[in-house]
Structure 1
């Protein structure tokens, strides 16, 4: 699991893509577009519940440490390289996710729609 920063209209209005991938295959299992708060991780956990995941690999951000069971949680960049690579791919393919760009979303709805459509199309093989 990891989260990726972006913004809507201005950098003060942050939006985060929270997503989880299968550690073995690199396939996206679920994602949430939300704020950088514990509630977003809770939403992602609910989406992941049907997968009965036994081990979570994350960085050391506080929400992971607070909400994930220590016995099933491994912290460290060594295990998050694949998901970090997905971040780079997303930033390359979706201009509005680039850190320094003049292309940005003006509304949360449009921002979430563009990113959601891209993920649905390229990760799940469906549009919408």
Structure 2
């Protein structure tokens, strides 16, 4: 959690043209995020954190201290994508 890490994240998020950043009260956010797009609240971050927890529970390979942990980013992407597809989009299949 350093300013340099947040700068890297913001560079990666630039193509998405985000309208709002909902964060906690960490100092780097105040220093580096545009004031008009920065909202300090847990109201929206709680649901995001809950989704992250659900993914860690559903996909054991996301927990670093398991024997299922993979060092391959490609495998992580495929497993997470498959989980999201099955969990949120399977109901649309006829």
Q: With a CA cutoff of 8 Å and minimum separation of 6, indicate the structure with the bigger relative contact order.
A: 1
Richer in strand (by share):
1
- Please report the TM-score for the alignment, with normalisation by the length of structure 2: 0.64
Distance change (3 Å), C-alpha of 1:92 and 1:61: farther
Match of 1:100 in 2: 65
Alignment of 1:110-121 (within 5 A): 110-119=75-84, 121=85
Cα RMSD (Å): 2.7
Unaligned runs of 5+ in 1: 1-35
Unaligned runs of 5+ in 2: none
Deviation per residue, 1:44-86 (Å, 9 max, x gap): 2422x2xx62x32113373x44542112211233441111111
SS at match of 1:101: coil
The structure 2 residue matched to 1:56, chosen from 3, 14, 21, is: 21
Distance 1:103 1:40 in 2: 27
The structure 2 residue matched to 1:88, chosen from 47, 53, 62, is: 53
Match of 2:7 in 1: 38
The structure 2 residue matched to 1:72, chosen from 37, 42, 48, is: 37
- Please report the TM-score for the alignment, with normalisation by the length of structure 1: 0.51
Number of residue pairs matched by the alignment: 84
- Max radius of gyration: which structure? 2
Richer in helix (by share):
2
